[in-house]
């Protein structure tokens, strides 16, 4: 029996080529997915609101591939500047919805890498602290 020829190595890709979709398209896909899961209308409204808040910051035409960790942290700072009346619990609620949308985008390959390192910690005065962000110290409650 003749010896086997070595098989040429082929590049292995973890994800198929994914389209360049916008954040607005990502939100629409997430909402469609949530409706297919038969979630309550109030829950779907919650995800729509969270997506709309981030779309105000990013713009609906922003490509998902351009979303980074800094985008996420800058959004938190944007919330502090534009909505200073928000309580820490409300802010965490918004960020929870945003994380669900971003994780969906990462899972589908629309958003490269992991853009969410950790949830921000809350100060007792309802402001958020972002670990590793210059000028802010983490307060572990």
What tens digit of pLDDT does each residue of 74-85 get? 998 898 888 888
| pLDDT of 57 over the 80 cut | yes
| pLDDT of 5 over the 80 cut | no
Does 33 reside within a domain? yes
Alpha carbons 17 and 9: distance in angstroms, whole number? 20
Rounded to an integer, the average pLDDT of 39-59 is 93
Q: pLDDT tens across 10-29, in order?
A: 444 445 556 789 999 999 99
Does 7 reside within a domain? no
Does 84 reside within a domain? yes
HEC sequence for the chain: CCCCCCCCCCCCCCCCCCCCCEHHHHHHHHHHHHHHCCCCHHHHHHHHHHHHHHHHHHCCCCEHHHCCHHHHHHHHHHHHHHCCCCCHHHHHHHHHHHHHHHHHHHHHCCCCCCCCCCCCEECCCCCEECCCCCCCCCCCC
Domain carrying residue 92 = 23-129
Q: Which residues of 20-29 are buried (b: 16+ CB within 10 A; e: fewer)?
A: ebbbbbbbeb
pTM of the predicted model, to two decimals? 0.70
Q: What integer pLDDT is reported at residue 115 of this predicted model? A: 76
* Domain count across the chain: 1
Q: What integer pLDDT is reported at residue 97 of this predicted model? A: 92
Q: What CATH code is carried by the domain that includes residue 55? A: 1.10.150.130
Q: What integer pLDDT is reported at residue 79 of this predicted model? A: 87
Half-sphere exposure of 38 (CA within 13 A, CB side): 0
Does 114 reside within a domain? yes
Does 108 reside within a domain? yes
């Amino acid at each position: 029996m003749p010896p086997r020829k070595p098989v040429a190595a082929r590049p292995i890709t973890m994800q198929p080529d994914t389209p360049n979709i916008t954040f607005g398209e990502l939100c629409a896909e997430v909402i469609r997915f949530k409706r297919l899961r038969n979630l309550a209308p109030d829950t779907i409204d919650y995800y729509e609101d969270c997506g709309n808040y981030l779309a105000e910051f990013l713009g609906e035409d922003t490509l998902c591939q351009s979303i980074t960790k800094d985008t996420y942290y800058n959004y938190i700072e944007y919330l502090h500047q534009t909505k200073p009346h928000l309580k820490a619990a409300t802010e965490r609620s918004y960020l929870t919805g945003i994380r669900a949308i971003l994780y969906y985008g990462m899972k589908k390959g629309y958003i490269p890498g992991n853009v969410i390192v950790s949830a921000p910690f809350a100060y007792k005065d309802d402001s958020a602290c972002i670990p590793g962000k210059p000028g802010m110290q983490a307060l572990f409650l």
